[in-house]
Amino acid sequence: MKHLSKAALVVAGLALAACSQPHLDDGYQGPGAGTGEAGSVSDPTSVAHFNEAIGDRVLFAVDQSTLGEQGRLVVLAQANWLLANTEYTAVIEGHADEQGTREYNLALGARRAAAVEELLVAQGVSANRLRTVSFGKERPLEVCSQESCYERNRRAVTVLAAGLSG
């Protein structure tokens, strides 16, 4: 996961072919961790390209977990990328803003992550390459207590990882 050299990718790809059970948990380092070497945005197979050009996150309205039109387009593009780059798995993190109780926000974040996962699967991404997790309101991206921050915190982030831990 730390060094995604071409050789490692090939090995990972071979291993994936041989093994139908990617070890998602082992490659996941927690919120926003992503991969160690993201590569160049200009390389369409790179994590950097996925994160920045395609977009690794979608935003939600207050207390909602339905994807908006813009969010839907982002997830469709994520699906195409994942279908083209099968050596990657993803953990989808759901987050909430601070306006809510802790437990409810955990459950709400899970709904948001699931909304992204469901659309990815509907587009043909194998469910066993995906996993969801909710951080509720525990890991805000922005720290102010205004809508300008809240709207960026109500998010689901698709965090890529190399699928196998070896």
Partner 1 sequence: MKNLAATLLIGLCAFGASVHTAIAQSGPLRIEITDGVIEPLPYAVPNFVAETPGSNQISKDMARVIAADLNGTGLFREIPAKAHISTITHFGNPVQFSDWKAINAQALITGGVSVSGNELEVKFRVFDVFAGQELGNGLRFKGTTDGWRRMAHKVADAVYGRITGEGGYFDSRVVFVSESGPKNDRKKRLAVMDYDGANLQYLTDSKDIVLAPRFSPTGDQVLYTSYETGFPQVYVLNVGSAQRRVLSNQSGTMSFAPRFSPDGKSVVMSVTDGGNTDLYKMDIGSGKRTRLSQSPSIETAPSYSPDGSQIVFESDRSGTQQLYVMSANGGEAKRISFGQGRYGTPVWSPRGDLVAFTKQNKGRFHIGVMRTDGSEERLLTASFLDEGPTWAPNGRVIMFTRETRGADGASALYSVDVSGRNLKRVEIGGGGSDPSWSPLQ
Q: How far is the CB of 143 from partner 1 (least distance, A)?
A: 4
For residue 84, the minimal CB distance to partner 1 (Å) is: 25
> How many beta carbons lie within 10 A of that of residue 5, not counting itself?
9
**96 contact partners, CB below 8 Å, separation of at least 6:** 105, 106, 108, 109, 112, 136, 137, 153, 154
How far is Cα 82 from Cα 76, in angstroms, rounded to an integer?
10
Please, which residue, 53 or 141, has the CB nearer to partner 1? Answer: 141
Strands of the sheet containing 155-162, edge to edge, are 57-59, 155-162, 88-95, 130-136
Structure tokens at 148: 């300008």
Nearer to partner 1, 70 or 145 (CB): 145
- Residue 90 beta carbon to partner 1: minimum distance, rounded to whole angstroms: 13
Residues that bind partner 1 (CB under 8 A): 25, 28-30, 65, 91, 98-104, 106-108, 110-115, 117-118, 131-135, 138-145
Sign of dihedral through CA atoms 162, 60, 127, 79? negative
Looking at the Cβ atoms of 29 and 45, the one nearer to partner 1 is 29
Going through 49-154 in order, the beta strands assigned E by DSSP cover 57-59, 88-95, 130-136
CB of 45 to partner 1, least distance (A): 25
| Of 138 and 151, CB closest to partner 1 | 138
Nearer to partner 1 among residue 82 and residue 161 (C-beta):
161
Which residue in 141, 122, 144 sits closest to 57, CA to CA? 141
Q: Please report how close the Cβ of residue 21 comes to partner 1 at its closest, in angstroms.
A: 10
